[in-house]
């Protein structure tokens, strides 16, 4: 298996020189290579953070009843979408702290206030955020929302140009394909035209079509979070190399708590692949809630007992299923740590013939990833 190791390591630009050399040697599986030390782990900093505490802040803004609170409740609190109808209107700033592979904050803002007004402490609001998400209700009159969005973008470009602005064109589930396409294009063109007329470029602004009733909201949040991960380039390269060496069609690295994928390989992605992988994460989480247990609590975290006692179980969870509705393809899941899981889609040829190779390469990937996300 030596020729099929993960030996093509990507450049890891966000690690210092000594750490980069150590990671490369570890990826090459050289006999004399040491595991990267914790002191060499790349520092995690928010793009616009003064404190450099590594905790990005996401701001949810938009008009009243545009769906901001529903998005937060569904994605981060597992609230069933139909129950969002009973959520109360947001009347004050809601600050929530998410603890996962990367701690971050989500601030939900009421829609009736102008936060660029001098009476507000704009430095406190915008001074340390990673991304601003502006939610537009595609089923309502959105022209006023677009006007306020443009005013906010202009303010941010003049005062906080590093901030990433993500526009969620929301509640698209109730629109026909033609009407949705027209609405999406109208909003994008109007934002771009008004910014150009005022002498401001579109800049760091992206648009997403979202709905809490399908997987589009998770895909949109995935793309937002990926922009806040400095190690995204090396992660994508590692996953691409893993797919090439193990003959996999697609690989995702999921945050199991939110169903957000923080990275994937560089091959073209389709919605069906993401949806089936996301549903599989849900299934595994549901089963874990019934039959799972915290291995670290066993005998005070005695990992040697876990490894030696066959009655205890494996240190890391692993699963392999056949997708009958997808021409006999295989779906492979490997637990990376408490927060992350690797999900791979393989072709219709049985992976059992190369199971040893897959296990070895995934093991190397897992050990390397633990140095990037040590939690």
Q: What is the pLDDT of residues 102-140, one digit of tens each?
A: 788 899 999 888 888 888 888 888 887 889 999 999 999
Assign 282 a pLDDT band (cuts: 50, 70, 90).
confident
56 or 77, greater pLDDT? 77
Domain edges within the chain:
2-8+230-372, 57-226
CATH classification (class only), 2-8+230-372: alpha beta
Q: Bigger pLDDT: 207 or 57? A: 207
Cα angle for residues 226, 229, 233 (degrees, 5° grid): 85
| pLDDT value, residue 172 | 95
- pLDDT value of residue 285: 78
Cα gap 159→311, rounded to integer Å: 60
CB 370 within 8 A of CB 336: yes
Q: What is the mean pLDDT of residues 232-255?
A: 92
pLDDT higher for 145 or 38?
145
pLDDT, tens digit, 9 for 90 and up, residues 317-349 = 667 666 655 566 788 888 888 888 999 988 777
Looking at residue 43, its pLDDT comes to 43
pLDDT of residue 167 exceeding 50: yes
Question: Which residues partner with 313 through β-bridges?
Answer: none
Residue 9: the pLDDT is 39
The rounded distance, in Å, linking the Cα atoms of 145 and 151 is: 10
Confidence check: pLDDT of 238 > 80: yes
Does the pLDDT value for residue 28 go beyond 50?
A: no
**What pLDDT does residue 281 have?**
86
Which pLDDT does position 327 carry in this prediction?
A: 61
Between 145-149, 235-239, 265-269, 304-308, the lowest mean confidence (pLDDT) is in: 304-308
Looking at residue 46, what is its pLDDT?
A: 44
| The pLDDT of residue 310 is above 60 | no
Residue 258 near residue 283 (C-beta atoms within 8 A): no
Is the confidence at residue 179, as pLDDT, over 70?
yes
pLDDT number for residue 205: 93
Put simply, whether the predicted model's pTM sits higher than 0.85 gets the answer no
State which of 47-56, 239-248, 273-282 shows the largest mean pLDDT.
239-248
Angle, alpha carbons 300-298-258 (nearest 5°): 105
Residue 51, pLDDT above cutoff 50: no
The CATH class given to the 57-226 domain equals alpha beta
């Amino acid at each position: 298996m030596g020729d099929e190791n993960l030996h093509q390591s990507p450049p890891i630009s966000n690690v210092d020189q000594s750490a980069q050399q150590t990671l490369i040697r570890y990826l090459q599986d050289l006999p004399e290579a040491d595991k990267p030390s914790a002191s060499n782990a790349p520092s995690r900093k928010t793009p616009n953070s003064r404190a450099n505490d590594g905790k990005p802040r996401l701001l949810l803004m938009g008009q009243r009843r545009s769906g901001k609170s529903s998005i937060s409740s569904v994605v981060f609190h597992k609230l069933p979408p139909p129950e969002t109808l009973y959520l109360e209107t947001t009347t004050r700033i809601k600050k929530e702290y998410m603890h996962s592979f990367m701690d971050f904050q989500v601030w939900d803002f009421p829609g009736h206030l102008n936060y660029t007004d001098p009476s507000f402490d704009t430095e406190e609001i915008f001074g340390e955020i990673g991304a601003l998400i502006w939610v537009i209700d595609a089923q309502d009159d959105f022209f006023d929302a677009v006007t306020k969005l443009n005013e906010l973008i202009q303010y941010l470009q003049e005062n906080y140009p590093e901030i990433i602005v993500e526009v969620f064109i929301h509640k698209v589930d109730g629109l026909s394909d033609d009407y949705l396409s027209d609405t999406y294009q109208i909003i994008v063109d109007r934002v771009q035209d008004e910014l150009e007329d005022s002498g401001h470029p579109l800049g760091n602004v992206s648009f997403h079509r979202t709905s809490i009733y399908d997987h589009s909201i998770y895909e949109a949040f995935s793309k937002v979070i990926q922009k806040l991960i400095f190690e995204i380039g090396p992660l994508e390269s590692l996953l691409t190399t893993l797919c090439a060496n193990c003959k996999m069609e697609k690989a995702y690295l999921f945050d199991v708590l939110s169903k957000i994928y923080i990275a994937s390989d560089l091959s073209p992605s389709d919605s069906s692949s993401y949806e089936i992988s996301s549903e599989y994460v849900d299934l595994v989480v549901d089963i874990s809630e019934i039959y799972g247990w915290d291995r670290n609590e066993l005998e005070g975290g005695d990992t040697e007992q876990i490894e030696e006692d066959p009655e205890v179980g494996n240190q890391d969870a692993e699963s392999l299923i056949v997708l009958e509705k997808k021409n006999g393809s295989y779906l492979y899941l490997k637990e990376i740590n408490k927060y992350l899981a690797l999900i791979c889609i393989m072709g219709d040829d049985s992976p059992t013939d190369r199971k040893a190779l897959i296990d070895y390469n995934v093991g190397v990937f897992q050990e390397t990833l633990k140095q990037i996300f040590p939690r």
